[in-house]
Amino acid sequence: MKQFAILLIVAGLFSFTLTSSLKTGAPPPARKPNIVFIVVDQWRAQATGYTGDKNVQTPNLDKLASQSLNLKNAVSGMPVCTPYRASLLTGQYPLTTGVFMNDVMLDTTKTTLAKVFKKEGYQTGFIGKWHIDGHGRTSYIPENRRQGFNYWKALECTHNYNQSPYYAGNSDKKLFWEGYDAIAQTTDAIQFIKEQAQKPNPFMLFLSIGPPHDPYQTAPENYKKLYADKEIKINPNVPQEFREKATKDLKGYYAHVTAIDDCMGQVWETLKQTGIEKNTILVFTADHGDLLGAHGSWNKQQPYEESIRVPFLVHYPAVFGNTQKTSPILINTPDIMPTLLSLTNTKIPASVEGVDFSGVLKGTAKDKVTHTVISCVQPFGQWNRSKGGREYRGLVTTQYTYARDLKGPWLLFDNTKDPFQQNNLVGQPAFAETQQKLDNLLSATLKQRKDDFKPGMEYVKQWNYVVDETETVPYNKINFEGKPILE
């Protein structure tokens, strides 16, 4: 009798709750939005049709841009792979994470995007290039170093896109993606999305794609043929002596780009087919750009537009609709984590240093950010000192790029009047006032960030990194402490 009475009470409470809900018209709790975050390696912002590049074919991204929010001033604050990825996952700046060079490890005790979303009930997945483990580029990455991601098909780093290894789950057996890895990884991502779409909890998926990072001539043949006989228009900031090489490399680069554009279209179509497009935040961006001959240089690290400026599309129909919008916000890498968390109504951890731009993007807050920081703490690798590499700190505004090296003012460009940055205004009397204002602002910003702007090797020693004769962290072996060592 006692158990029967308890059942009657429970039933009564359930009936009261249901009746109250019906009377008030209160909707059931809404499922939090899913996140599909696609980040590609070394894709500069200008290399899309929707930004005006007449050389390239990106029909899917162009269509996505017509129905998305385009963050046209997105910046990679430290334009190189590992530092970007550490800042992306933690919302912190490189001098805080200690990850200011390639091939070093992000502290596993950090509060990361995946760990936060995992606590919120999200299924977290990572597919593709990781590059924040620091234990060798082909080594197995155990679960405790995956920073909160559950579903796992990843490798630290490879640029062999047609024989690309990876590890799945908790197996240390080396597997290989079939064919061109971006296509195979996209196929796996699509399967993940289809499975998660049927489940009650939201998900967050990172698809981290290796190309169009060099080698440039390794895209599938059908994409290479699109550009084989195409006349390529070279930007005016590529010196004449580098134009032949730039033309060849751009053809291969664009072939990778178009292949990834097709992948992007397939992911988007999957969101539509599964009925979850409206409540999914789909992001397309890159870790940094590629100079591709601009200013006589290749790859990244340098403070020029082709290196620091990245594409950034946000497609979230439930909040931003399906129309084209452009935002001028100066979003930097550490700002991505707090902005995504806020868009999903998730509390931002105190450890985060980036800016939450969600209110600005939704139109409920004013944009108070007038500048953002760019830096190179320690030049290495493809831009080591023998190749002109140098430490710098700088600012980007909606009009100017300013950079200072250890000797003093280095670069000042008016990007509005001089989009290819061919006229360095440092030391020109007509711009002395502008230069001084930006330099003062940079000094104040560095003080706020507690950045003493010391020579790079001082930070290398502070963090006990082992480097070779070019001041670069080797990535082929590790010692018993987990630090990279030379052959």
pLDDT tens per residue across span 21-73: 333 344 445 789 999 999 999 999 999 999 999 999 999 999 999 999 999 99
81 is catalytic: yes
335: which 2 tokens? 């700002």
One domain for residues 94 and 206: yes
**Where is 247: in which H helix or E strand?**
helix 243-273
pLDDT at residue 32, as a whole number: 94
Average the pLDDT over 186-197 and give the result: 98
Tell me the average pLDDT across 247-260.
98
Residue 250 has pLDDT above 90, yes or no: yes
Omega into 215 within 30° of 0, i.e. cis? yes
What's the number of domains the chain is made of?
Answer: 2
Residues 87 and 221 reside in one and the same domain:
yes
Distance CA 379, CA 199 (A): 46
Task: Let me know whether 309 and 199 are in one domain.
Answer: yes
415, 268: one domain? no
Calculate mean pLDDT across residues 222-235. Answer: 97
Report the distance separating Cα 212 and Cα 219, nearest Å: 9
**pLDDT band of 476, cuts 50, 70, 90:** low
CATH code assigned at 355: 3.40.720.10
Whole-number pLDDT of residue 29: 54
Host H or E run for residue 414: strand 408-414
- 474: confidence class by pLDDT, cuts 50, 70, 90: confident
Catalytic residue among 131, 135, 315, 371: 131
Return the minimum-mean-pLDDT range out of 20-24, 336-340, 476-480. Answer: 20-24
pLDDT score recorded for residue 320: 97
Calculate mean pLDDT across residues 390-410: 98
Q: Is residue 95 part of a domain?
A: yes
Give mean pLDDT, residues 184-191. 98
Exposed/middle/buried for residue 10 (C-beta within 10 Å: 0-12, 13-18, 19+): exposed
Q: What does the pLDDT read at residue 31?
A: 83
Identify whether 157 is a catalytic site residue: no
Give the chain's length. Answer: 487
Is residue 480 assigned to a domain? no
Average pLDDT score over residue span 348-369: 98
Going 376 to 392 to 421 to 419, the CA torsion angle's sign is positive
Which residues span the domain enclosing 413? Answer: 391-453
> How would residue 402 be classed by pLDDT, with cut points 50, 70 and 90?
very high
Contact (Cβ atoms closer than 8 angstroms) between residue 328 and residue 73: yes
Shared domain for 412 and 287, answered yes or no, is no
- 78 contacts 333 by C-beta, under 8 angstroms: yes
Say what the pTM is: 0.92
395: domain CATH number? Answer: 3.30.1120.10
Mean pLDDT across the stretch 306-326? 97
Do 181 and 268 share a domain, yes or no? yes
- Of 114-123, 146-155, 187-196, 478-487, least confident by mean pLDDT is 478-487
Query: What confidence tens digit (pLDDT) does each residue in 416-442 have?
Result: 999 999 999 999 999 999 999 999 999
Is the per-residue pLDDT at 159 higher than 60?
yes
The average confidence (pLDDT) of the chain is 92
Strand partners, 175: 166
State the pLDDT confidence band at 273, using cuts at 50, 70 and 90: very high
By DSSP bridging, strand 165-168 and strand 151-155 are antiparallel
What percentage of the chain has pLDDT greater than the value 90?
91
- Of 81, 157, 263, 376, the active-site residue reads 81
pLDDT tier for residue 7 given thresholds of 50, 70 and 90: very low
Predicted pLDDT of residue 446: 98
What's the CA gap between 376 and 451, in Å, rounded?
12
